[in-house]
Structure 1
């Protein structure tokens, strides 16, 4: 249980769901963490759980779609941790709706929080990773970014942008020993999916869809998604960059 010992990790969107589970897991594996999240109170609760278990973490309130706030987050993390070696871009929002009814403000929100945040984080963290002699960037996209679906045009577009951005960034940063990979979860049992479930017509319709379309016949857990993030962050994936890891129960 020490695959991340000595690693200084920034995780965005770590207050709840996959991000929270990943923070707990990475801390248990020895990483020292800074959690960046707009939901500061919930992020502090994650920090409390980590520190009570003997881990090291702190939180920083930040809107990851805002350039200045992301810059301050990375400066805080570098100062607090002494360096930054790993970044997990996990912050995200989801809105669903038929394309003719999807509000333009929802489209812009998803592009800002989902896609733009990955660009801003990379923009401000790369100098720190170079200073550390290399590092890791993991961007959380979605199955929706590689396989579209009804009512998911805006969300799919924002997550597909993350996939393409990750591939290009990996090629750009490989000479600096900075690895960039992308995680694409499918149906994960988390409140994050409430907008999509509502669009489908409710919990019963959602369960039926999962039974019909997921070969393993169930949703994944946040812990299963977090295990995949740990793999991409750890030396176990040291010869991987520019890759898209789909964790979806066999859908794609």
Structure 2
């Protein structure tokens, strides 16, 4: 079977762990060369003939411009940008400080603006390209204590539509993926921190009609499709990937 991203050059922010690592893995398997752009080095296992690491503070416009230029100079061009890096914390509006709010927006919403701004001339030069933003089901609804996170992800969804509208005539497509619960080291730490982690895990699992949690490569599979020519008529969309969680209505029974 032909590699769907053969010869493509991609930037994946936060591509060294969790969902980002799943996207990196699938892109490489489909023939792309990937620059993992983030603050800290990724695991050595993710680096190889088709992957490089570019250090950057993603909330810093100078760093983002430099990262994009480094990739273009090293690989000769840029075809795909995946805005995946993000943070999450749990604080209500009253508990949150302005510093907290600004930090969330800097990473989750400002960085996904700075990267396309720096990348746009290079995508245009290629006659088109793909931008994939990682949103969240919490851009559509919210868990308790997540006003800043939900606001940032809802912003990503709106930003995605706007970029698609503005740049579609240049052959630049922009779509978003809204994951639900995806297995990762962070999600495991979160569950294990609960007083009754076994009960929490069972109840979380019961929320998913497919009977399992998502894996980073599940998101990677969708990202590959969105980055490929198979989705050539798709832009401005938000794709929920949550095992049916947001479609299952709760019942008032134990």
TM-score, structure 1 length as denominator? 0.90
Partners of 2:139 and 2:190 in 1: how far apart?
14
Is 1:219 the counterpart of 2:213? The answer is: yes
Report if aligned partners of 1:38, 1:61 keep a CA contact under 8 Å in 2: yes
TM-score, structure 2 length as denominator? 0.90
Residues 228/156 of structure 1: CA separation in 2 closer, same or farther (3 Å cut): same
- By percentage of residues, which structure has more helix? 1
Structure 1 residue 195 displacement after superposition: 8.2
Structure 1 residue 104 displacement after superposition: 3.3
**What is the SS of the residue equivalent to 2:25?**
helix
Is 1:113 the counterpart of 2:114? The answer is: no
Give structure 1 stretches of 5+ with no counterpart. none
Aligned alpha-carbon RMSD (Å): 2.0
The correspondence for 2:51, drawn from 50, 54, 57, is 57
Report if aligned partners of 2:38, 2:55 keep a CA contact under 8 Å in 1: yes
Residues 125/44 of structure 1: CA separation in 2 closer, same or farther (3 Å cut): farther
Q: Deviations over 1:3-61 (max 9, x none)?
A: 00121111110111111121121111111111101112x255421xxx2xxx4121100
Partners of 1:43 and 1:211 in 2: how far apart?
29
Report if aligned partners of 2:205, 2:213 keep a CA contact under 8 Å in 1: no
In the other structure, the counterpart of 2:153 is 159
Is 1:230 the counterpart of 2:230? The answer is: no
The correspondence for 1:83, drawn from 77, 88, 95, is 77
Q: Deviations over 1:86-140 (max 9, x none)?
A: 1111111111133322343332211111111110011100000000110000000
Structure 1 residue 217 displacement after superposition: 3.3
The correspondence for 2:130, drawn from 136, 142, 148, is 136
Residues 43/168 of structure 1: CA separation in 2 closer, same or farther (3 Å cut): farther
Is 1:39 the counterpart of 2:33? The answer is: no
Identify the range of structure 1 (144-153 vs 128-137) with the bigger mean alpha-carbon deviation: 144-153
In the other structure, the counterpart of 2:252 is none
In the other structure, the counterpart of 1:9 is 10
Larger CA Rg, structure 1 vs 2? 2
In the other structure, the counterpart of 2:177 is 183
Stretches of 4+ aligned residues off by more than 3 angstroms: 192-206
Partners of 1:113 and 1:30 in 2: how far apart?
29
Partners of 1:30 and 1:92 in 2: how far apart?
26
Partners of 1:232 and 1:84 in 2: how far apart?
16
Residues 194/106 of structure 1: CA separation in 2 closer, same or farther (3 Å cut): farther
Partners of 1:147 and 1:112 in 2: how far apart?
21
